[in-house]
Amino acid sequence: MRLDILTILPKLLEGPFNDSILQRAQEKELCEIHVHDIRSFSTDKHRKVDDYSFGGSAGMVMTIQPILDCVKSLQKERNYDEVIYMTPDGEQLKQNKANHLSLKKNLIIICGHYKGIDHRLRENIITMELSIGDYVLSGGELAAAVLTDSIIRLLPGVLNDETSALTDSFQDNLLAPPVYTRPADYNGWKVPEVLRSGDFKKIQEWQENQALERTKQLRPDLLEGED
Ligand code: ADE
């Protein structure tokens, strides 16, 4: 999988992509992440990437030219499955969307700033608009990092234990069951006996029951859409 991320703040993405799981995924050549500085595509002599909003509302708007030129130069090289725009008014990112996107080959992700990008880009080149939640960030970079992480960790070979993404919260519209590690008794705080029984069937039943109970208690909305 190849991800091309367009931003005016490329440095903001260095941290998340150059550490831990995302770094290892790139080193193992399971994915390529390319960050592009939108400013370097600006034909303006001052490398401007924004301008005043028509109609006079407050805040600057990101201009069409540098973003369109950057997207077009990428699309000349290869076909992209989606051109995604990170925006608080997009569809809210959920696990099923991350699953769906993890099966794609090439994705472009555009990070907005100020009041956002010129709406004509949204009408003409953006194929998917995603939000990571009902709150407003200073820019789309952190949202793009969240989206990227949620996708890349699902690629085969990225996680050491192949099954661990399958047992994540949300994979069956259920929260994950509680987990414990050694010591089995920490000054009287004990691990549930069943987990130490060695009875795999019983353990699985307990975990399924805990997942269901925790979901009912903490996130009943996840169960509402069930068949
Ligand atoms: N840009 C600013 N806020 C955002 C959000 N909540 N989700 C995605 N992109 C954003």
For residue 226, name the pLDDT band (cuts at 50, 70, 90): low
**Ligand 1: which of 137, 146, 149, 150 to mutate, most ligand atoms within 8 Å of CB?**
137
CA–centroid distance, 193 to ligand 1, in Å, is 44
Output 43 or 114, whichever has higher pLDDT.
43
Query: Is residue 66 a contact partner of residue 49, using CB atoms and an 8 Å limit?
Result: yes
CA–centroid distance, 114 to ligand 1, in Å, is 11
- With a 6 Å cutoff on the Cβ, whether 211 touches ligand 1 is no
Query: Is residue 107 a contact partner of residue 80, using CB atoms and an 8 Å limit?
Result: yes
Q: Which amino acid is at 180?
A: Y
CA–centroid distance, 204 to ligand 1, in Å, is 38
Mean pLDDT of 86-115: 97
Domains of the chain, first to last: 2-152 (3.40.1280.10), 169-223 (1.10.1270.20)
CA–centroid distance, 39 to ligand 1, in Å, is 20
Mean pLDDT of 187-193: 98
- Identify which of 144, 155, 130 has the alpha carbon closest to the alpha carbon of residue 35: 144
Report which secondary-structure segment, H or E, holds 51.
Answer: strand 50-52
CA–centroid distance, 10 to ligand 1, in Å, is 17
- With a 6 Å cutoff on the Cβ, whether 87 touches ligand 1 is yes
Averaged confidence pLDDT in the chain = 95
Counting from 1 in the atom list of ligand 1, the atom nearest the Cα of 86 is 9
Residue nearest ligand 1's atom 10 by CA: 87
Q: What is the pLDDT of residue 106?
A: 98
pTM value?
Answer: 0.94
